[in-house]
Each structure stands twice: as C-alpha cells, then as structure tokens.
Amino acid sequence: MGGYKHIEEHFSRYIIGNYQSATEVGVGRNFSVADALARAGVTVKTTDILPQQPPEGIPFLLDDVCSPDTACYRGTALIYAVRPGIEMVPCIIALARSVNADCIIYHLGDEIYERGGRIIDCGVVLHQYYTRI
C-alpha cells in the first residue's frame, strides 16, 4: 500500500471505527474517503467551494468553509479534511466548534496548524483540533 490511497484507506478505517456521521470539507475531486464511509454505512456529506461531481449516493453541498452555512453541518459528529490548504484550517476548526463536531485533519506533508492538536496515529498521522463536548 503506498501513495495517497494508503492515506485515504487508513483515514477511512479510523472514521468508520469511531463515527456514525461525518462531513468532509474541501473535498475537491477526491471522494475516496467519503465513498468508503458511505459504503460502510456512515452517514456522510461532502462540501467544497467549487462545484464537484460526487459518486452516486454521496451528498455534495456547495459551501465556503470560511463563510459557512452552518445549517449544512449541524448534527454531524465529525468534520474532517484530507490535505486542505493550511489557510483553510482555522476556518475548519471554527466551523467544528460552532456546530459541536469533532475536527480531524490529515495535513499535506509535514504541515501542522499551531501546536498540531491531538495526534492520532492510525497508520497515518491525523490531527484532532477540536473534540465535541
């Protein structure tokens, strides 16, 4: 197992083992994690600032995480992102706090935000920046 799909596989397994609902922000054209979650029975939604074509059965919402429509995210247990731009991270954390959802990010390369949050090693290194109350 190598490359990006290795990352998505480990991230998916972690979410499947710990959450019943999740929303991916900044999905872009990579629906690998969301697709794995949906196939495993996790309620999943995806969002991006640009229109995307998700696989059948995966809801997609056009939204700007830095100026979000929080109604789109209420009720989700986890807000996550795979390799978001570092400028998006404070917005993702703020969104998670505002809707009381956990916030987990897989960073691009060795990037971290502030102190890196709580580290989760599930075969890849994830950063949990907010834990719901």
Domain range for 64 is: 3-130
Strand order in the sheet with 43-48: 60-62, 43-48, 21-24, 78-82, 102-106, 125-130, 118-121
Strands (E) in 15-69, as ranges, are: 21-24, 43-48, 60-62
CB 77 within 8 A of CB 57: no
* pTM exceeds 0.95, yes or no: no
pLDDT at 19: 98
Task: Give percent of the chain with pLDDT exceeding 90.
Answer: 86
What is the C-alpha separation between 113 and 111, in angstroms, rounded?
A: 7
The count of structural domains within the chain is 1
pLDDT at 3: 47
DSSP element (H, E) containing 109: none
Residue 68's CATH number: 3.40.50.150
**pLDDT bracket for residue 4 (50, 70, 90):** low
Q: List, for residues 27-69, the tens digit of each pLDDT value.
A: 999 999 999 999 999 999 999 999 999 999 999 999 999 999 9
